[in-house]
């Protein structure tokens, strides 16, 4: 058997942060399957949201941008051990692999539809296509990559204006534009009875991944940890300040303008209700800003909690695929054995998921209980896989 010693030199703070966002991410997915209002109400609607429902949804905003940003950082760190050609080839091939996994495995785990009538392009698709793009741009000089990433993140909301004008005229943007920028859960038929749903258009996410790639330079061995900490905190605070100022101006940076409501709480909800699909510059700023500060503060931290969460952060893709199957399997159990539903109820025309009718679900306490259960069920499996991956060298492990 081809074995090597356990991996050394991993950047623990990155694993910890990634592990935390993976855990939080599962909360949102459990909410979609188990909350009674998940398919009926927008939990972020300032006019109707409760504090509990708003927080439960909003806290998960951190997951996708941190996940994509750190994927870029990890790509840079891998590049320190590979030639430019090796890194480019790896990013392109792994990106294509992730797109295939999204279409064939994750879409089934999400829908449990063996006919693949609806294939959602979600975060794994976005990471996949962004890796392909990054695999091409890594040949460019570092300052050029940084400039392209910053231009995309800061400037892509300029596309909102011609897009809004065309939509007001009743003209659809079309598949390629939706794939690039608009998204909005648009459905595009590719065969009779089969369609893709574009959840994550890739342009803005590509910019976030490029910025994460550029941030990898801060984690090179020669960089003093104290200096790295100061830089991360400074950038994080600057992004938060940028968000507050630009969001207050309410003119650019997010197509969803905030407005006054009868209560201060609803005003706050509106102010913080930024656009995720696609990720606006306001969304990216208020999620990545605090995350970079947290990344700086946890460097060197070691306790039982960090030892626990970093297991998930070391095997994020494995965790991601596994958690959808577990959540949906628990939904099927509740469907049959708690709700007493039958085969006629499996498919609800108003629901995206099999075994998850629109009028199904429980209150938030049950959602949180199921979420904790899912995390605990997955932990020993992820721990086993992390140990296996750390002590074996097979080429295919880098794709899982």
pLDDT digits (tens, 9 = 90+) for 143-164: 999 999 999 999 999 999 988 8
Q: What are phi and psi of 21, to 5 degrees?
A: -70, -30
pLDDT band at residue 64 using 50, 70 and 90 as cut-offs: very high
Q: Average pLDDT, stretch 321-334?
A: 97
Q: Residue 324 pLDDT > 70, yes or no?
A: yes
Higher per-residue pLDDT: 83 or 392: 83
pLDDT band at residue 46 using 50, 70 and 90 as cut-offs: very high
Q: Average pLDDT, stretch 325-342?
A: 97
User: What local confidence, expressed as pLDDT, does residue 185 receive?
Assistant: 87
Mean pLDDT of the chain: 93
Residue 397 to residue 384: CA distance in whole angstroms = 14
pLDDT band at residue 400 using 50, 70 and 90 as cut-offs: confident
Instruction: Assess contact for 228 and 9: CB atoms under 8 A.
Output: no
Q: Residue 21 pLDDT > 70, yes or no?
A: yes
User: What local confidence, expressed as pLDDT, does residue 4 receive?
Assistant: 36
Residue 28 to residue 18: CA distance in whole angstroms = 16
Q: Residue 217 pLDDT > 60, yes or no?
A: yes
Residue 365 to residue 293: CA distance in whole angstroms = 30
User: What local confidence, expressed as pLDDT, does residue 208 receive?
Assistant: 98
pLDDT band at residue 395 using 50, 70 and 90 as cut-offs: confident
Q: Residue 206 pLDDT > 50, yes or no?
A: yes
Q: Residue 2 pLDDT > 50, yes or no?
A: no
Q: Average pLDDT, stretch 80-97?
A: 95
User: What local confidence, expressed as pLDDT, does residue 37 receive?
Assistant: 94
Q: How many other β-carbons are positioned within 10 Å of the β-carbon of residue 109?
A: 17
Residue 70 to residue 76: CA distance in whole angstroms = 10
Q: Residue 9 pLDDT > 60, yes or no?
A: no
Q: In the chain, pLDDT over 70 holds for what percent of residues?
A: 98
Instruction: Assess contact for 318 and 19: CB atoms under 8 A.
Output: no
The residue extents of the domains of the chain are: 12-399
Per-residue burial over 34-55, b if 16 or more Cβ lie within 10 Å, else e, is: bbbebbeeebbebeebeeebbe
Please report where in the chains the tokens 């207050």 appear, as a residue: 248
Q: Residue 76 pLDDT > 90, yes or no?
A: yes
Q: Average pLDDT, stretch 191-205?
A: 94
User: What local confidence, expressed as pLDDT, does residue 5 receive?
Assistant: 37
């Amino acid at each position: 058997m081809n074995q090597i010693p356990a991996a050394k030199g991993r950047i623990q703070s990155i694993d910890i942060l990634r592990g935390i966002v993976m855990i939080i991410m599962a909360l949102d997915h459990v909410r979609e399957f188990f909350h009674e209002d998940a398919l009926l109400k927008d939990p972020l609607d300032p006019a109707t949201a409760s504090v509990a429902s708003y927080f439960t949804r909003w806290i998960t905003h951190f997951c996708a941008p941190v996940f994509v940003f750190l994927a870029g950082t990890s790509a840079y760190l891998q590049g320190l051990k590979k030639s430019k050609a090796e890194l480019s080839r790896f990013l392109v091939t792994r990106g294509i692999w992730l797109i295939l996994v999204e279409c064939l495995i994750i879409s089934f785990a999400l829908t449990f539809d063996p006919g693949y009538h609806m294939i959602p392009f979600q975060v794994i698709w976005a990471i996949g296509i962004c890796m392909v793009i990054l695999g091409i741009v890594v040949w460019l000089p570092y300052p050029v990559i940084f400039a392209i990433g910053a231009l995309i993140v800061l400037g892509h909301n300029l596309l909102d204006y011609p897009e809004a004008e065309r939509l007001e005229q009743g003209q659809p943007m079309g598949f390629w534009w939706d794939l690039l920028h608009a998204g909005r859960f648009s459905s595009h038929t590719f065969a009779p009875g089969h369609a893709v749903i574009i959840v994550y258009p890739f342009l803005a996410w590509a910019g976030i991944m490029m910025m994460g790639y550029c941030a990898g330079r801060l984690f090179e061995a020669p960089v003093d940890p104290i200096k790295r900490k100061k830089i991360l905190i400074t950038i994080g605070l600057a992004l938060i300040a940028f968000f507050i100022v630009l969001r207050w101006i309410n003119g650019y940076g997010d197509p969803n303008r905030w407005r006054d409501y009868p209560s201060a709480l609803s005003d706050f909800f509106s102010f913080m209700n930024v656009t995720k699909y696609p990720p606006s510059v306001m969304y990216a700023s208020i999620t990545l800003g605090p995350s970079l500060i947290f990344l700086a503060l946890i460097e060197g931290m070691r306790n039982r909690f960090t030892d626990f969460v970093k297991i998930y952060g070391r095997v994020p893709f494995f965790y991601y695929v596994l958690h959808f199957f577990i959540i949906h399997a628990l939904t099927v159990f509740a469907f049959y054995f708690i709700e007493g539903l039958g085969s006629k109820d499996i498919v609800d025309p108003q629901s995206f998921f099999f075994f998850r009718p629109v009028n199904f679900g429980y209150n938030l306490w049950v959602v949180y209980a199921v979420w904790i259960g899912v995390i605990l069920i997955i932990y020993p499996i992820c721990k086993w896989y992390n140990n296996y991956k750390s002590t074996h060298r097979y080429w295919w492990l880098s794709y899982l």
